[in-house]
Structure 1
Amino acid sequence: MKVFKFGGASVNSVERIQNVKEIIKSYSDEQLMIIISAMGKTTNALEKVVEAFYAGHKEEALQLFDGIKKQHVTTAKYLLVTHYNACIEQLNSFFTEVEWLMHDKPVRAFDYYYDQVVCVGELLSTCLVSYYLNEMQVANTWLDVRDIIRTDDNFRDATIDWEYTARKVDELKAQYFHNMQAAQSSSVLTADDANYTPGIVITQGFIGSTDENESTTLGREGSDFTAAIFANLLNAESQTIWKDVEAVMSADPKQFPDAEIIHELSFDEVIEMAYYGAQIIHPKTIKPLQNKGIPLHVKSFIDPSLPGTVIYKKQPRHLPPIIIIKKQQALMHLHSQDFSFVGEKPIIRLYEYFASNKIRPNLIQTGAISLQVCLDDKPEKIDHLAAEAGAIFDVQVEKGLSLLTIRHYTTMLIEKMTAGKEIVLQQQDKQTIQVLYRD
């Protein structure tokens, strides 16, 4: 049993969907659980639909959604012949799900509507891919992941109900994977035969549902996490994330053309990279895999023959310096109002403010009577945090900053990366240095 996750870039055109088919076909002797993201920039487009609807611009929202509908219908026309009508019927049911919602005025929180609308992106893409694979004789079963992954109602960042979800995954495994060997031994069984259970199941990433059947999402880029949930509960041999990069790199190759390919990484190293802002792996993805020792592969869907990167328990030696740069940073200066030491109580209060505003600091430096906190520059959140923190601190905010993080640094590299920069804050240990500087 292998778990595959294909991101939006891998299915953003007819040609790339055809390429996904070739990759899956090359694993035809395997049991595959396949998670697929929304096509290309569909999630961003759906976000604009929600924003227009919630602002009271229903006609604009419907017009924006109509563009998304046409894109998917056009893709179906180019991909399908014999399965076209059935696919369109299912796509229309998803379109109706969103349009029905938008005919009423919003009466609940924005995050609720966000999840009900944005979730449709994954449903549309998986529908197209599943029908296309079946038409190309790559038999598969399509499932609505909302029938499997149960969450709470913390919309846009829902928490998994692992006990319920595990029971549903056990049912899925018994129904769709138990007789793979028998299916492979027969040359006459087809997907239309009542007793045939294909060894390929296609479902969505990023989404789940509450016990009241309301759609939820697991946070942006949550499809990697969905794949890890299935890998854990299916006791998969491995999980593979198919991306438009050759492998995990030591830095963003768009910024650093001499970035190195890293063929092996440990779970611990990837968690550190994610913590400091590397975008290659979703932070939540690692724990379900680490708990059961399931290796994670990062491979190129453009050239599947390349070795890619494997992430596992083993600690590779001699890693190159890993460089992460986060732009649009703000530094919040917090000073004790009465010049008393910054002790346990004010720090506890500050972390409560972080939690209530859903803020994760990127760097914190403490002094006797002051704290400095580096944050992503999201004006509304920072303004609200500054107002709350103002009850116990004098607050000043400095903007227009960038945060450089280097793991496994060298003195020469630090000097090169910081040359000519106005350094505002610096923090380092034996493995990692962070430098906050003015752009």
Structure 2
Amino acid sequence: MKVFKFGGASVNSIDRIKQVANILGSYQQDDLLIVISAMGKTTNALEKVAESFYAGKKEEALLLFHQVKEQHLTTAKYLLVTRYLECEQTLTNFFTEVEWLLHDKPVRGFDYYYDQIVCAGELLSTAIVSAYLNETGISNTWIDVRDILRTDDNFRDANIDWSFSQQQVDRFVKPLFQKTRHLITQGFIGATDENESTTLGREGSDYTAAVFANLLNAESQTIWKDVAGVMNADPKKFPDAVLINDLNYSEVIEMAYYGAQVIHPKTIKPLQNKGIPLYVKCFLDPALPGTVIHNQPVNHLPPIIVIKENQALLQLKSKDFSFVGEKPVGQLYHLFEQLSVRPNLTQNGAISFTFCLDDHPEKIQQLALEASDIFDVTVEKGLKLLTIRHYEPGLLSTLIGENKVVIQQQTPDTVQVLMKQEN
């Protein structure tokens, strides 16, 4: 039994959905649990719906959601013939879930509404792909992942209830393989014990697939992407990026921690716990070998480059020149936990604590406001964080270029530079 995950880029057009079917057609004799993301930029579009709704712009939110509806209905019309009406009814039910909420007024926190709205993307995409596969002779059963993966109510970054989810997998998922070899479900989302939708963090579909691989004791997990495998840098930014054929769990965890987008940060642990290999393969050319990630030592890796744009730097100084010791730093990390933010770089001085993190304006504002009870706070935005593992001095200076270095930290293996563009 294997777990496959197809990301948004693999289902963002009619031709690519057909390519997914071509790939799955080669595995008709295998038991597969298939996790599929929202189509293309749907998650971004639904985020705008959530933002408009929370800002009290109901008509704008409904208009933006109407565009999402039309895109999915159009895709279904082009793909389906005999199963279109059935699929349309399924899609309409999911549309209604969101529209019912949009006609209300927000009385809870933004993250709650974000999850109720954004989760629709995966539900819509999987309904369409499942119908298309069945229509083309690739028999499958569609599962609402919210019935299987129980989470807490930490909206936008929910934690899996492993014990309950295992019970659901044993009770409902495993028996389905006696009916069809292929099961289709959603990535990125789950539900609380009160049936409120949750999300597992951006790019959480990789993690969903790993959770299922663990709970099903799968022989492997494969992530199908629009690149040849794991590269040493983003090929869209670095055309000379090279393929890394072999990686181990530890290296990938480090890469993910520093922001490499190829694997979700939480994906590796469920696989590592049971020694399940992870393959990263190209859905555009399935014959390519891709990358295998395992538990064996790997040597002579090339420099691995990660760049995170849109970074905000917060500089906190004690108000009375007292040392910034364990207690105030502990209070600060408690704030991080409350707001579900993670600093990408930190620096502790005698009377100051400096850190950078992704620039989510609403979280930055709240963090700065609450931290101002303890510190004098200044915020600087528009920065970029460069991380190089297995770095070379010449490469570092080349990548810094004409930028101004704000903070630089390095170990024998990894260097990080927070920088801003000189005017």
Query: TM-score when scaled to structure 2?
Result: 0.94
- In structure 2, the CA distance between the partners of 1:431 and 1:142, relative to structure 1 (3 Å rule), is same
Provide the rounded CA distance (Å) in 2 between the counterparts of 1:344 and 1:160. Answer: 30
Q: 1:371 aligns with which of 339, 353, 358?
A: 353
Is residue 2:253 matched to residue 1:232?
no
Question: Which amino acid letter does the alignment assign opposite residue 332 of structure 2?
Answer: L
Unaligned runs of 5+ in 2: none
| 1:242-275 CA-partner distances (Å, limit 9, x unpaired) | 1111111111112211111111111111111111
Residue 200 of structure 2 aligns with which residue? 218
What are the Cα deviations for residues 361-382 of structure 1, in whole angstroms up to 9, with x where unaligned?
1111223333322223334433
- 2:10 is the counterpart of 1:10: yes
The aligned amino acid for 2:366 is H
| Largest Rg, 1 or 2 | 1
Call closer, same or farther: CA 1:38–1:157 in 2, change over 3 Å.
Answer: same
Q: CA RMSD of the aligned region, Å? A: 1.8
Q: Which one is further off, 209-218 or 396-405?
A: 396-405
CA distance in 2, matches of 1:52, 1:395: 29
> Quick one: structure 1 residues 386 and 71, their matched pair in 2 at CA, closer, same or farther if it must change by over 3 Å?
closer
- Write the letter of the residue equivalent to 1:265: L
Alignment of 1:36-75 (within 5 A): 36-75=36-75
1:243 corresponds to which letter in structure 2?
Answer: K
Structure 2 CA distance for partners of 1:97 and 1:383, relative to 1, 3 Å: closer
Q: Measure, in 1, the Cα distance between the counterparts of 2:123 and 2:223.
A: 19
Q: How many matched pairs?
A: 421
Matches within 5 A, 1:118-129: 118-129=118-129
The separation in 2 between residues aligned to 1:4 and 1:128, in whole angstroms, is 17
- 2:103 aligned partner: 103
Separation in 2 of the partners of 1:81 and 1:260? 42
Unaligned runs of 5+ in 1: 180-196
Matches within 5 A, 1:168-187: 168-177=168-177, 179=178
Instruction: Tell me by how many angstroms 1:398 deviates.
Output: 3.5
Task: Look up the SS of the partner of 1:5 in the other structure.
Answer: strand
**Is the 8 Å Cα contact of residues 303 and 389 (structure 2) preserved in structure 1?**
yes
1:165 paired residue number: 165
Q: Aligned to 2:248, which of 258, 266, 286?
A: 266
Greater Cα offset, 341-350 or 223-232: 341-350
**How far apart, in 2, do the equivalents of 1:164 and 1:360 lie?**
27
Aligned-residue identity in percent: 67
Partner of 1:186: none
For residue 338 of structure 1, report the CA deviation from its aligned partner: 3.5
> 1:297 matched to which residue of 2?
279
| 2:264 counterpart letter in structure 1 | H
d(CA) in 1 for partners of 2:350, 2:111: 40
Between 1:297-306 and 1:358-367, the stretch displaced more is 358-367
Of residues 155-164 and 22-31 in structure 1, the stretch that sits farther from structure 2 once superposed is 155-164
| Aligned partner letter, 2:81 | V
Contact 2:157 2:340 in 1 (8 A): no
The farther-off stretch of 2-11 and 51-60 is 51-60
- Inter-partner Cα distance in structure 1 for 2:258 and 2:246: 19
Q: 1:183 — aligned with what?
A: none
Note closer, same or farther for the CA distance 1:331–1:214 as it changes in structure 2 (3 Å cut).
closer
Q: Which residue of 2 aligns with 1:284?
A: 266
Q: Does 1:401 align with 2:388?
A: no
Q: Secondary structure at the match of 1:292?
A: coil
1:305 Cα offset (Å): 0.7
Instruction: State the match for 2:298 in structure 1.
Output: 316
Q: TM-score by structure 1 length?
A: 0.91
Quick check: 221-230 or 348-357, which moved more? Answer: 348-357
